[in-house]
Structure 1
Amino acid sequence: MPPPRRHRSAGAERAHGVRARCALARAATLRPEGELSVAEFALHIDWTRCDGRGLCAEILHHALTRDDWGYPVSLRGEEGSRSNVPLGAGELAAADDAVALCPVLALKRVAL
């Protein structure tokens, strides 16, 4: 018996998921005026998924840095709130790219 989805490679499935997430992220930025403002967004880091590759810190170098083990560390916000990194107006597109390119899907842009 052949394995399921034998005509579709894993890469195609991954690319489809990334495209879908990018479309959802862009749709969130195109909301009608007055619903959500730019200052109400943050980048949420899921620490149970993150393995410290550091791609997000390279893309968002003004908001994140890396610790000794490669995990992202916020350069702003409250000391106790390491999971939600506040985003500026010019960082939304870069944050969407970081979310879409995270290899372990540990990032999500959230409304505060």
Structure 2
Amino acid sequence: MTVLRGLREALVLFVVAIVLAALAMGVWTLLSGGDFVFRLGVSLVVAGTLLGLTGDLTLSRIGMLGARATFGLAPEREDAGGGRVLTGVGIFLFVSLPLMAVGVALLS
């Protein structure tokens, strides 16, 4: 069941990223003209890269390590994902890479 929840979460993230990128590029194309498909491809590659880098909570935890150590607290737990199933690796493999692949396919 956890696998299905993870795949469902990846699908939702993937679809939301594509819809948001398409809306943003649609508005940009309407305002300034140009090629929608090329801009969508670039935006999907950028979105995939950003999700790959910031898809888990590592960056937000790094900022608190010093403060937690100062007060004698242990580092935050790794499983404190707020109900999420996918880890950073799962987000990279099942969301970021497919977004980048679709973006590169639209660029060609």
Whether TM exceeds 0.5 here: the answer is: no
Looking at secondary structure, tell me which structure has more strand per residue: 1
Looking at secondary structure, tell me which structure has more helix per residue: 2
Q: Which protein shows a greater Rg?
A: 2
Higher RCO (CA < 8 A, seq sep 6+): 2
TM-score of the two chains, using structure 1 as the length reference: 0.30
